[in-house]
Structure 1
Amino acid sequence: MGDTSPQVRAKPVTFTVGKHDDRGEYLLHLRDYFPGRIWEPGMWSLLGGGREPQDATLEHTVRRELAEEAGLDIADLTPFGTEYATDDAGATVPIAIYAGRWNGDPRELHLTEGVMLAWFTPDDLHRLRIADTTSDLARRHAASRPAGTAPQSGLSSHEECRSTSPHGTVLNVIGVHLYLERPDGTVLLGLRHPDSPFVPSTWHVLAGHCEQENAIACLIREAREEAGLHIKRQDVELVHVVHHIDKAGDRPRMGLFFRTRTWSGEPELREPDKCTQWRFWDPVALPDNLVSYTRVAIGKIQNGELYSETGWPA
């Protein structure tokens, strides 16, 4: 990463201004977890680093770091602004932000530092371990683009994502779901908040997306964070997998449904901005406003079927 001392650092924001459902995607870097040795250890961040003596300008710093860390050569880089962060010693560090566009698959880059690179939309950032300044920056950049602006480059849609990959590969989102069934056979569902970006005012099982963690660890974390339920790994079993898309052109999703026979705690509203009510429902009398793939999965689980697909064209 080069010099990480409290001096002006140049961080290139390798943005795309492409759109998917009118949302741009941003390239983020999962950093190594070396506390005391690197900036923001174990967090999602932007590619970049400290200025070195051979760098004539901050843009030279940006280009050198991109090349050294990921083998990237961005044709057009423009200053976007200056951010301020606080280092481990409590000093304020100015960070020069550059914006650019790149169209490609980060898995094909030669990453020399950190764990991985991945695309995220601004709506994805709340589930990442990421500095507030970084997530705010991405949202501000997204808001700065005029509404309806067509992308000049970058990942303009998942169809375009497929075409840029030599093998037609599309990254699937992995979600975990808790199938919590009481001895009387009723199943736990939560009513999503009316302002939820995903299926507002609709019933759904307790669910979440995997972060830098395995699926069962994600399930245990989500159950605790969302409902105050405590689950042990040895009590968890996989009971269903649903491979689904919500509508044509959306990113495919793999939903893993886990059952736990034993748990402690009663469902609480730990995140009222996401869920407004927990309730146990009879599987034969489920609410009408239930997420469609969740309805399918519950029926399959009741029948002992392990796999289903929904939303795919016939």
Structure 2
Amino acid sequence: MDVHVILRRDDQILLCLREGTGYADGLFCLPSGHLDVGETVIDCAIREAREEVGVLIDPDALQPAAVVHHLSPEGKPRVGFFFAATTWGGEVVNAEPNKCAKLEWVPVDMLPDNTVPYTAAGVALYLADAVVGVHGWHETATA
């Protein structure tokens, strides 16, 4: 399982440009990561935001944004939980420069062309107020 955090500031969201990870390098994504053993999706979102962009999010400030059932181009299924936050503690910084070339605030409805498609699918569901969607499968559906 993956957990993604949409940090929203007015009409912008924060994206991280991946670098040196071996997966989707050169593409933008949200602060995100894999769920650790024994960790809740809420705890994971808080941890990933702290580790990747240096902010502290109160659990009550996280709002469920979307769930994406993703099928990678290699045929590997994943489930991603997307959360949104408009308030947090601390200043946004690139806390993992060995994995992230830069951070960029972008309009939420105009993601760069080089955004990870899985990320873009989650943000699109969030903007559409959809709860669950699929990405990478033959059919696309939302609920």
In the superposition, the TM-score normalised over structure 1's length comes to 0.43
Shift of residue 311, structure 1, vs aligned partner? 1.0
For 1:299 and 1:248, the matched residues in 2 are separated by: 23
1:260 aligns with 2:85: yes
- Counterpart residue identity of residue 71, structure 2: I
Structure 2 unaligned regions, length at least 5: none
Distance 1:296 1:249, change over 3 A: closer
Counterpart selection for 2:105 from 261, 280, 283: 280
Q: Which residue of 1 aligns with 2:59?
A: 233
Q: Is residue 177 from structure 1 mapped to residue 23 from structure 2 by the alignment?
A: no
Highest relative contact order (Cα 8 Å, sep 6+), 1 or 2? 2
Amino acid at match of 1:276: A
User: Partners of 2:81 and 2:32 in 1: how far apart?
Assistant: 9
How far apart in 2 are the matches of 1:249 and 1:301?
Answer: 24
* Whole-angstrom CA distance in 2 between matches of 1:277 and 1:240: 25
Partner-residue secondary structure (3-state), 2:69: strand
Which has a greater percent of strand?
2
Structure 1 ranges of 4+ moved more than 6 A: none
Which structure is larger by alpha-carbon Rg, 1 or 2?
Answer: 1
Distance, in Å, in 2 between the alignment partners of 1:201 and 1:298 is: 19
How far 1:248 moved relative to its partner? 4.3
Matches of 2:111 and 2:60, distance apart in 1 = 29
Distance (Å, rounded) in 2 between the aligned partners of 1:241 and 1:188: 19
Alignment RMSD: 1.2
Distance (Å, rounded) in 2 between the aligned partners of 1:198 and 1:238:
26
**Structure 2 CA distance for aligned equivalents of residues 257 and 279 of structure 1:** 19
For the residue of structure 2 that corresponds to 1:220, the secondary structure is: helix
Within-5 A mapping of 1:77-116? none
- 2:16 — aligned with what? 190
Structure 2 residue 114 is the aligned partner of structure 1 residue 289: yes
- Identify unmatched segments of 5+ residues in structure 1: 1-173
Residues 258-285 of structure 1, C-alpha deviation per residue, up to 9 Å, x if partnerless? 0123101222111111111111101232
Alpha-carbon separation, structure 1, partners of 2:132 and 2:60: 22
